[in-house]
Structure 1
Amino acid sequence: MRRADTPDDLTLWYDSPATDWETQALPIGNGALGAMVFGGVGGERIQFNEKSLWTGGPGSDGYDFGDWTSPRPNAIAEVRAEIDRDGKVSPAAVAARLGRPRRGFGAYQTFGDLWLDMPGTPGAATGYRRELSLRDAIARVGYTSDGVTYSREYFASHPGNVVVGRISADEKGKVSFTLRTSSPRSDRRVSVSKGRLTVRGALADNGMRFESQVQVITRGGTRTDGTDRITVAGADSAVFVLSAGTDYADVHPAYRGADPHARVTSAVDRAAGKSYERLRSDHLADHRKLFDRVRLDLGQRAPAVPTDRLRAAYTGGASADDRALEAMFFAYGRYLLIASSREGSLPANLQGVWNDSTNPPWSADYHVNINLQMNYWLAEQTNLVETTEPYDRYIRSMVAPGAKTAREMFGARGWVVHNETNPFGFTGVHDWATAFWFPDAAAWLTQRMYEHYRFSGDTEYLRETAYPVMKGAAEFWLDTLHTDPRDGTLVVSPSYSPEQGDFTAGASMSQQIVFDLLTNVLEAAKELETDEAFQAEVTAALARLDPGIRIGSWGQLQEWKEDLDDRGNTHRHVSHLFALHPGRRITAGTPESEAARVSLTARGDGGTGWSKAWKINFWARLLDGDHAHRMLGEQLRGSTLDNLWDTHPPFQIDGNFGATSGMAEMLLQSRHDTVHVLPALPSAWPTGSVTGLRAWGDVTVDVSWRDGEADRITLRAGRTGLLRVRADMIGGGYHVLDDRGGTLDPGRDGDVLVIDAQAGRSYTVVKEITRDRPLDEAPLR
């Protein structure tokens, strides 16, 4: 492993073992499996998870998907009528009529802990280093004791669906340990045979069957089976491979599939039959195929101090060490998404895939009033489209239970889900007054699916995957929008602006989300040349839909249809700016964007981790790079833990993902059919480069900049058509080259270049020739 004198700019490293799971341990994962490495000297703790191990759902006491258990035919109409009459209703009053106690919702579970107990008491450890290489997705531990240097490596292999560990020493016969497992639950049986430890059981709450297996392979020495542990003595090195699974299946209404035994056994057998070197090389190839697509250089230097001290010394971007932390934080968001969302797994939850508890915060569930959506903001733009497969499959799996909720609760077509959900189709409500009602969620969840089409141009995906889900979400709103008697517009009623105020009609966030959905689904239907009657229905609704965008009495963007905003309100939610981000309706330079700026300024730079991350994106969309960077600094200083996890508090991973998205938005935006390069570059990043970012229209973009201005932009076109490019350099002298060395003469539309691009070709915009930047220099790679 790397020593302290050979630092790496994308490696988190520490000079002492972790003693706390949340703030110090280091995460590895392959989407379905996650593990946290502590790196103790006298013993190792590896806490691990399998993402489908959940209490609740079918089989648990009273589970009913959150649906009303008895008819309430007039409940919603009565609340609407009261809002029509009085303008508002308190959250408690609405929850009393429309909510219900939550039964059988469940919680994500820790699978347990893997322990490596080292015999005896080693001598004082010197040269200790614990690290996580983001480029390799490998956690390492190294130290010297009694003249022997010990090394450990751990990784979570997606190709093999196993967690792999290797323990070695630089002298033969020095590797000894006892491997055992533990769990906070008493629902398991442990057995050992031929160096394989098996844990098997069923959750007491819902009967879900689970199993994990760990195979130990030694080189030299002895391996001895115990009743519940395996002991290795005097080995030159040892490897373990671990896999785990449950009988969960994402099929409504049973959510159960095959016993996990055969699947887990097969994964461990395959991995145990390969050399450690082969397992490692397969893992590296798989990870780097995704991770290496994007590289960010902010002029940082590899930090010579441990990451916890690097974060503690952060001053807001003034130094090379500060930029190193920022670049690492950007890469860490991409690393965490790769580690917690891969094909075949559930999507990333509130904690990605990592959890050490049987009762985690907010159940480590899927909050869909921003958090699940936020987890995937970075996926398309930072070139990680493969990580979105679990998201798409999960949203599609919600349609069946969501259709039942829509029909029985609202008497509507389509499908719906409220504020939060689980892996078991919980699409109804509970009765927490300020966080139980959010039928807007389904509409918002489809936004990412439509954006995949806008990034990729994949019409087959649009037709087969995105459009049916979008259409169902739109049909729900076509049936449930309410005519406001005050002005005849269509409004969401009852609506609630998270997580404050009263229930009203036409809260701005609700209106903006519904507008976004109806606009997207209409565009999609036209592109697919389908559903003319449905297109007409959507067009008519859009013509009557309340806009949800109003400028209030003190210049703010109103949060509600009525001008109720308080200048002194610093609530962490700034939900009424949805149309700015992640929506695309408010654009910089308009009166509405100025009103959004007024609202953001009034709310201030505080908030929890995810809120600060959202504000990075807001300020980037307002093209204010310095304020976006200030928010990044606030997040790093006040809402980031020593292992660089985001904290709400407690740990909540959406802040990591949102920050990476915001940094990408500072460097590239494209949601208005123009590739806008360096739209919100902060003064703290005067020189740098980024490669591999993605733009709408199937374009991959590399850019380098000097003195705050792009000097070289390379665009790789995935489709044939006009490619519109905006950058400050276009106002001065520049050249446009194709990938065959030819010079082009593109069209101009004001400050926008218009290139007639061909699929598979590259085009490079180069600032006027300088002595240190020759015309024929190769494009960025």
Structure 2
Amino acid sequence: MSQSTGAQTPPQDLRLLYGRPAADWEREALPIGNGALGATVFGAVDTERLLINEKTLWTGGPGSAEGYDHGNGHGDGPGALEAVRRRLDRQGSLAPDAVAAALGRPRRGYGAYQMLGELLLERPGAPSRAEDYHRELHLGTAVAAVRHTENGVAHTRAYFASHPAGVIAGRLGADRPGATGFTLRLLSPHGGEVTVADGRITLRGALADNGLRYEAQLQVVTEGGTRTDGTGEVTVTGADSAWFVLAAGTDYADTPPRYRGEDPRERITAAVDRAAARGWQPLLEEHTADHRRLFDRVTLDLGGRTPAGRRTDELLAAYTGGPGSADRALEALCFQYGRYLLIASSRPGSLPANLQGVWSEGTAPPWCGDYHTNINLQMNYWPAAVTHLDETADPYDRFVEALRAPGRVTAERLFGTPGWVVHNETNPYGFTGVHDWPTAFWFPEAAAWLAQPMYDRYLFSADTGYLRDTAYPVMREAAEFWLANLRPDPADGTLVVSPSYSPEHGDFTAGAAMSQQIVHNLLTSTLEAAGILDEDPAFRQRLRDALDRLDPGLRTGSWGQLQEWRADLDDPEDRHRHVSHLFALHPGRQITADGPRAGAARTSLAARGDGGTGWSRAWKVNFWARLRDGDRAHRSLAGQLTDSTLPNLWDSHPPFQIDGNFGATAGIAEMLVQSRFGEVDVLPALPRAWPAGSVRGLRARGDITVDVDWADGRAVTVVLATGRTGPVVLRSGLLAGAYTVRARGGGAPPGMTERGRGTVVFTAEAGGRYVFTARP
């Protein structure tokens, strides 16, 4: 895989800065994480708080006090479904309540994501306020820090979550020997037993609902001074500095039917022992190197600078989206913050990022803190490939693979067919069936959509081994489900999804646009993948036959819109946050900016307006970017920052929902580089607000890494680093004028020809580097 263009990268000083402690978890606390573990830092002077999360700590599932059936307890299964289909054939539409009454059932044992506990660090005698207070999160090092002065003594704290070590670590120090002292406690809303020995606090228990065992261990290490064990606490007095490491885990395993593994004690003890023995500085250096290996792959300069000392909350409050330099700096910061959050909440060996990443407060998070599969989980991973964070998608792939076994059971029990299926939302216990919330319980297209990012991951990497072993089996089985469940429309015989529902409004119908587009995308991609692998000739013919008869879900309606339903039901005054019928534009591939349906997509998108919740605005950034309208994409981004972003830069639905952060980062990348249909399209949606800038390290499909410098609204230099041998098509505004091109070793690449419209074709070599430079 091509990793770097080798171009010089400008320095990044990317920090979230604040002048006071956090008073509110959702709005102000600063997140650190290593994928499996997360913490949010408040930075109070007298009583520091860190809320601790471990991503497998979930109520519900097997063993739940409510009972658990994976959402499959729904009456007479295929018979009930067939009755709904017949009613739709007769009536054309059904109210959501009617379909939920026929097919839904109350959810049992679904569970919710849980906060593990709270680390309290009390400093007796410390003032509640201090001089020279400074709180920050450094995105480049993934370290949260606090500095303040008390009685002439400068105190410092630093916190990070190490993926290599599997721990959260924190250190307190001062510039006067013997000035560090505190009492540390570890509390949990779940009760549990707390023991203390030799500076180690151990919290151990089992969730009351399902018996899931959990454990956390925290070791305190001092440099100078004394350390005293107490009842449920460790006290440090007169130290020069002191630090701690914390590891936590549960006996959850992602293997049905029990979803239980080994007691976590042994691995947690080993992680804490290793980290404490290494020492603070080696642990920090290892963590920083690991984080930078991912984070530093991409830099972005939009021509802005943050004024020295300007706090992030002030920067956000003053943001207008106008021409100011500080606004450009905030936009670039938010782009990188999305990448930071993805690294922190999704690393190999953990569950994927959920609705709140890895961070949650309390025991009743919004929407259970779960995995919504009608866009939200997929959106979490939109930035992974394009912003050079391919490894962060490993948990997503493993999670989707783990859904296949329970999804087969749901397909058989509810639909009476082969294949696998999952609906509107799921949990770590393989919930693939339905519940009974009328407007958000039915979405069997979710499995097809979950397969789409996996095929896209292949398109970026061009790794046929990954396609064969990981993506294609998921795609093929999801396609089998739809080959068995598409049915002829009584009016014209085309194959349609029935029943279908366009999230999250309107009536149930047959063949809603989003349903048809998702299935079309799946069948098309599966056919492509089988051809690449040269497998399944008979299955490929079945896919072709189905695609020949499939309604593609692309109709232009009476006011020029792309219809959301087969019938022309769209209301031009509809401002619903979901614009689901534009799936074919993004993340799908059926609509192009130059294609025949682009105008209808533009009309629909404009009619929905620039409002919406955080994730909805982020999707609109991507929609407008795909339509090559950089100014409108930027307007959506500006709206997200002004109306749907909290002072700690978390996205707000409201409440906090992390998919908007990830969607915005992906949208900014989409404005700068696109790579559908075999082209590397540079600056396809550059807004006037970004007349000059640079980006390093974005990825294009076909295993290509891209650097771009631009000025006066057009590319000045484009550098492509290619990981595979083969043809490359580059589309860029700089090619409309005079330019020079140089391959590694000098001279132009072989077979280079111009196609017009600023497009050039050449044959790249694996490991090649090609520099296109506009002439003055």
Short-chain TM bin: over 0.9
- The C-alpha deviation readout for 1:468-498, integer Å capped at 9, x for no partner, is 1100000000000011000000000000000
Equivalence for 1:45: 49
Residue 52 of structure 2 aligns to a residue whose secondary structure is strand
Equivalence for 1:499: 504
- Picking from 597, 603, 606, the partner of 2:602 is 597
Equivalence for 2:773: 766
Measured on the aligned residues, the alpha-carbon RMSD in Å equals: 1.0
Q: TM-score, normalised by structure 1?
A: 0.97
Please tell me the residue identity of whatever aligns with 2:770. Y
**2:753 pairs with 1:747:** yes
Looking at structure 1, the residues matched to 127 and 115 of structure 2 have their Cα atoms a distance apart, in angstroms, of 30
Please tell me the residue identity of whatever aligns with 1:690. V
Deviation at residue 591 of structure 1 after TM alignment? 2.9
Deviating runs (4+, > 6 A) in structure 1? Answer: none
Structure 1 residue runs without a partner (length 5+): 1-6, 771-781
**2:240 pairs with 1:233:** no
Equivalence for 1:424: 429
Deviation at residue 183 of structure 1 after TM alignment? 2.0
Equivalence for 2:668: 663
Looking at structure 2, the residues matched to 663 and 303 of structure 1 have their Cα atoms a distance apart, in angstroms, of 23
Equivalence for 1:343: 348
- Picking from 450, 465, 468, the partner of 1:445 is 450
**Would the alpha carbon gap of residues 457 and 121 (structure 1) be closer, same or farther in structure 2, given more than 3 Å must change?**
closer
- The C-alpha deviation readout for 1:726-748, integer Å capped at 9, x for no partner, is 00111100011012232447211
- The C-alpha deviation readout for 1:166-202, integer Å capped at 9, x for no partner, is 000001000000000222223x000000000000000
**2:307 pairs with 1:280:** no
- Picking from 412, 435, 438, the partner of 1:433 is 438
Residues 303 and 310 in structure 1, CA contact (< 8 A), matched pair in contact too: no
- Picking from 57, 62, 66, the partner of 2:61 is 57
- Picking from 203, 210, 221, the partner of 1:206 is 210
**2:274 pairs with 1:270:** yes
Deviation at residue 9 of structure 1 after TM alignment? 4.2
Deviation at residue 123 of structure 1 after TM alignment? 8.4
Looking at structure 1, the residues matched to 241 and 743 of structure 2 have their Cα atoms a distance apart, in angstroms, of 53
Looking at structure 2, the residues matched to 599 and 124 of structure 1 have their Cα atoms a distance apart, in angstroms, of 52
Looking at structure 2, the residues matched to 403 and 654 of structure 1 have their Cα atoms a distance apart, in angstroms, of 28
Q: What does 1:163-174 correspond to in 2, within 5 Å?
A: 163-174=168-179
Residue 53 of structure 1 aligns to a residue whose secondary structure is strand
Equivalence for 1:777: none
**2:611 pairs with 1:606:** yes
Equivalence for 1:776: none
Equivalence for 1:246: 250
- Picking from 54, 77, 98, the partner of 1:72 is 77
* Greater shift in the superposed pair: 64-73 or 391-400: 64-73
Please tell me the residue identity of whatever aligns with 2:762. I
Looking at structure 2, the residues matched to 237 and 180 of structure 1 have their Cα atoms a distance apart, in angstroms, of 18
**2:770 pairs with 1:757:** no
Equivalence for 2:359: 354
- The C-alpha deviation readout for 1:480-518, integer Å capped at 9, x for no partner, is 001100000000000000000000000000000000000
Deviation at residue 318 of structure 1 after TM alignment? 1.5
Looking at structure 1, the residues matched to 128 and 770 of structure 2 have their Cα atoms a distance apart, in angstroms, of 60
Looking at structure 1, the residues matched to 579 and 498 of structure 2 have their Cα atoms a distance apart, in angstroms, of 20
Residue 212 of structure 1 aligns to a residue whose secondary structure is strand
* Greater shift in the superposed pair: 527-536 or 229-238: 527-536
Residue 214 of structure 1 aligns to a residue whose secondary structure is strand
Residue 529 of structure 2 aligns to a residue whose secondary structure is helix
**Would the alpha carbon gap of residues 71 and 79 (structure 1) be closer, same or farther in structure 2, given more than 3 Å must change?**
closer
Equivalence for 2:166: 161
Equivalence for 1:222: 226
**2:137 pairs with 1:132:** yes
Please tell me the residue identity of whatever aligns with 1:207. G
Residues 303 and 324 in structure 1, CA contact (< 8 A), matched pair in contact too: no
Please tell me the residue identity of whatever aligns with 2:740. H
Looking at structure 2, the residues matched to 687 and 501 of structure 1 have their Cα atoms a distance apart, in angstroms, of 44
Looking at structure 2, the residues matched to 729 and 210 of structure 1 have their Cα atoms a distance apart, in angstroms, of 57
Residues 610 and 648 in structure 1, CA contact (< 8 A), matched pair in contact too: yes
**2:567 pairs with 1:568:** no
Residues 9 and 302 in structure 1, CA contact (< 8 A), matched pair in contact too: no
Deviation at residue 317 of structure 1 after TM alignment? 3.5
Residues 45 and 128 in structure 2, CA contact (< 8 A), matched pair in contact too: no
Looking at structure 2, the residues matched to 602 and 227 of structure 1 have their Cα atoms a distance apart, in angstroms, of 62
Residue 467 of structure 1 aligns to a residue whose secondary structure is helix
Residues 123 and 183 in structure 2, CA contact (< 8 A), matched pair in contact too: yes
* Greater shift in the superposed pair: 588-597 or 669-678: 588-597
Please tell me the residue identity of whatever aligns with 1:246. T
Equivalence for 1:774: none
**2:375 pairs with 1:370:** yes
Residues 350 and 371 in structure 1, CA contact (< 8 A), matched pair in contact too: yes
Equivalence for 1:323: 328
Equivalence for 1:543: 548
Residues 350 and 365 in structure 1, CA contact (< 8 A), matched pair in contact too: yes
Residues 74 and 414 in structure 2, CA contact (< 8 A), matched pair in contact too: no
Q: What does 1:380-391 correspond to in 2, within 5 Å?
A: 380-391=385-396
Structure 2 residue runs without a partner (length 5+): 1-10
- The C-alpha deviation readout for 1:195-229, integer Å capped at 9, x for no partner, is 00000000000000000000000000000001200
Equivalence for 1:4: none
Residue 283 of structure 2 aligns to a residue whose secondary structure is helix
Equivalence for 2:4: none
**2:490 pairs with 1:476:** no
Deviation at residue 671 of structure 1 after TM alignment? 1.2
Residues 74 and 104 in structure 2, CA contact (< 8 A), matched pair in contact too: no
Residues 605 and 634 in structure 1, CA contact (< 8 A), matched pair in contact too: yes
Q: TM-score, normalised by structure 2?
A: 0.97
Please tell me the residue identity of whatever aligns with 2:349. G
Looking at structure 1, the residues matched to 703 and 322 of structure 2 have their Cα atoms a distance apart, in angstroms, of 32
Equivalence for 2:3: none
Deviation at residue 126 of structure 1 after TM alignment? 1.1
Please tell me the residue identity of whatever aligns with 1:151. T
**2:36 pairs with 1:32:** yes
Residues 722 and 754 in structure 1, CA contact (< 8 A), matched pair in contact too: yes
Deviation at residue 139 of structure 1 after TM alignment? 0.1
Looking at structure 2, the residues matched to 189 and 225 of structure 1 have their Cα atoms a distance apart, in angstroms, of 16
Residue 135 of structure 2 aligns to a residue whose secondary structure is strand
Looking at structure 2, the residues matched to 653 and 117 of structure 1 have their Cα atoms a distance apart, in angstroms, of 30
Equivalence for 2:707: 702
- The C-alpha deviation readout for 1:566-621, integer Å capped at 9, x for no partner, is 01100000000000000011000223111000001100000000000000000000
Deviation at residue 450 of structure 1 after TM alignment? 0.4
- The C-alpha deviation readout for 1:414-452, integer Å capped at 9, x for no partner, is 100000000000000000000000000000000011011
Residue 113 of structure 2 aligns to a residue whose secondary structure is coil
Equivalence for 1:773: none
Deviation at residue 43 of structure 1 after TM alignment? 1.6
Residue 318 of structure 1 aligns to a residue whose secondary structure is coil
Deviation at residue 376 of structure 1 after TM alignment? 0.2
Residues 13 and 140 in structure 2, CA contact (< 8 A), matched pair in contact too: no
Residues 343 and 387 in structure 1, CA contact (< 8 A), matched pair in contact too: yes
Residue 57 of structure 2 aligns to a residue whose secondary structure is coil
Deviation at residue 303 of structure 1 after TM alignment? 3.2
Residues 112 and 356 in structure 1, CA contact (< 8 A), matched pair in contact too: no
* Greater shift in the superposed pair: 310-319 or 622-631: 310-319
